[in-house]
A and B are shown apart, each in its own frame.
Chain A
Amino acid sequence: MKPFGYVAAKDSGHAVALLAEYGKGAKVLAGGTDLLADLKNSPHPPPDVMVDISRAADLKGIALTDAGLRIGALTTHTEIVDSPLIADTLPALAEAAVVIGAVQTRNLGTIGGNLMTCVPSMDSGPTLLALDAQVTILGPSGRRTIPLSELFVGPRRTSLGFAELLVEIVIPKKNVGKPSAFQKFGLRKGQALALVNAAAGFWGGDGVFAEPAIALGAVAPTVIRAPKAEAWLAGRPISEEAMAEAGRIAATEAKPITDFRASAEYRLDLIAVLVKRALAGAHARVTPNQKDLAS
Chain B
Amino acid sequence: MNVTLTVNGELRSASVPPETTLLVLLREHFMLTGAKTGCDIGDCGACTVIVDGKAVNACLMLAAQADGRTVVTIEGLATREGLHPLQQVFEETGALQCGFCGPGVIMTAKALLDENPSPSTQEIRTALAGNLCRCTGYVKMIDGVHEAAKMLQSTETPALAAPQQR
Do chains A and B make direct contact within the complex (CB under 8 angstroms)? yes
A-to-B contact residues, CB < 8 Å = 1-6, 8, 29, 32-33, 36-37, 40-41, 46, 50, 52, 54, 78, 98, 101-105, 107-108, 188-191
Contacts of A104 in B (CB 8 A): 42, 45, 48, 55-57, 60, 108, 130
B81 within 8 A of A: no
- Determine whether the beta carbon of B61 is less than 8 Å from that of A108: yes
B127 touches A54 (CB 8 A): no
Which of B13-21, B25-33, B93-101, B147-155 forms part of the interface with chain A?
B13-21
Q: Report which of A46, A102, A105 forms a contact with B19, defined as CB distance below 8 A.
A: A46
Task: Specify which chain B residues have a CB less than 8 angstroms from the CB of A54 in the assembled complex.
Answer: 65
**Taking A5-B18, A107-B55 as contacts, is the C-beta distance between A32 and B129 under 8 angstroms?**
no
- Contact A101-B130, Cβ < 8 Å, known A1-B19, A2-B19, A36-B21: yes
User: Contact at B129–A6, with CB atoms within 8 Å?
Assistant: no
Q: Are A32 and B130 in contact (CB under 8 A)?
A: no
| Minimum C-beta distance from A39 to chain B (A) | 8
Q: Which residues of B contact A (CB under 8 A)?
A: 1, 17-19, 21, 40-43, 45, 48, 51, 54-57, 59-62, 64-65, 108, 111-112, 125-127, 129-131
Most A CB within 10 A of own CB, among B1, B127, B129: B129
The residue that A32 contacts in the complex, of B45, B55, B61, B131, with Cβ under 8 A, is B61
Task: Using known A-B contacts A37-B42, A41-B41, A103-B108, determine if residue A32 contacts B126 with beta carbons closer than 8 Å.
Answer: no
Q: Are A52 and B64 in contact (CB under 8 A)?
A: yes
**A52-B65, A105-B42 known, 12 other contacts, Cβ within 8 Å:** A4-B19, A32-B61, A33-B60, A36-B59, A50-B62, A101-B42, A102-B131, A103-B111, A105-B60, A107-B51, A107-B54, A190-B126
Interface centre among B18, B21, B131, by most chain A C-beta atoms within 10 angstroms, is: B18
25 pairs, A vs B, C-beta closer than 8 Å: A1-B19, A1-B21, A3-B17, A4-B19, A5-B18, A6-B18, A6-B19, A36-B41, A37-B60, A40-B41, A54-B65, A78-B54, A102-B131, A103-B108, A103-B111, A103-B129, A104-B42, A104-B55, A104-B57, A104-B60, A108-B57, A108-B61, A188-B129, A189-B129, A191-B130
| A191-B57 CB under 8 A given contacts A36-B21, A103-B127 | no
Closest beta carbon of chain B to A56's beta carbon, Å: 12
Which residues on the B side are within 8 Å of A98 (C-beta)?
126
Residue B43 contacts which of A32, A103, A191 (CB distance < 8 angstroms)? A191
Known: A8-B64, A32-B60, A103-B126. A40 touches B54 (CB 8 A): no
- Flag if A50 contacts B45 (CB, 8 Å): no
* List of A residues within 8 angstroms of B21 by Cβ: 1, 36
Shortest Cβ distance from B49 into A: residue: A104
Q: Across the interface, do A33 and B42 meet the contact criterion of CB distance under 8 Å? A: yes
B17 partner residues in chain A, CB cutoff 8 A: 3
Nearest to A109 among chain B residues (CB) is B60
Chain A residue with Cβ nearest B68: A55
Interface centre among B43, B60, B64, B126 (most CB of A within 10 A): B60
Contact of B130 among A6, A46, A50, A105 (CB under 8 A): A105
B40 touches A102 (CB 8 A): no
